[in-house]
Amino acid sequence: MIRLDDLFVHGWKIYQDTDGFCFGTDAILLSSFAAEKRFSTAVDLCCGTGILPLLLAANDCAEAVYGVDISKPCTDLAEQSVALNHLQDRVFIRCEDLKKTSLPNGKFDLVTANPPYFLPGTGKTARQEVEASRREETCTFSDVAAAASRLLRFGGRFCFVFKPERLTEAMVACSGFKLEPKVLRLIYPKFGKAPELFLMECKKGAASGLKCDPPFVLYDESGKETEQFQAIHRF
């Protein structure tokens, strides 16, 4: 079923398919993290129905934001959301394989990605419609990092969200494509719990040197959103 959700920013809305993979907390966290520094041109890889391109476009500094996804049903919905919000002059959706996207190399300030978290045959059981979104069926994390490196200008940033158990793998892959890890932020569901996600910012062509941010906790002991989560949670 197609659902129209409010983004609570500029009055914008987004179309989502409830039978597919709808965006969650990870997209909200990533959009805020990536936008902490200014950019004018950006690409979101594995864009799904377009949540990251829309949120990135909400920033005054954003002049052109592209979304790339291999799923036509997803990109069709993303394009409908772009048109609904009258953003055709700033947000551009491409139904393409990120491994061979037609976007120009070395031209973008920022690349973001909320890539598939799980290897094939692992992770929680999912409906067939969302397998490609959850598992590395059509691309691997290394594919995503390689695409980000190609698209970024020297000094450009690659920001992504991923699972902690794959942190080492992600850092090695990024470094191998000249994307040096610069900022790491661990996301905790509650105080005293293990982290369930991490955000990372890499910089193309930068020298080594990683900064670890303070812990980011989503909910307090009573299950209410923490102040730091409320500060970015617009949904």
Q: What is the pTM of this model?
A: 0.93
**Gap between the terminal Cα atoms of the chain:** 20
Residue 64 has φ and ψ, to the nearest 5°, of -150, 125
In tens, the pLDDT along 196-230 reads: 999 999 999 999 999 999 999 999 999 999 999 99
CATH fold of 24-230 reads: Rossmann fold (3.40.50)
pLDDT in tens, 11-45: 999 999 988 878 899 999 999 999 999 999 999 99
- 154/80 Cα distance (integer angstroms): 33
H or E element in which residue 31 lies: helix 25-34
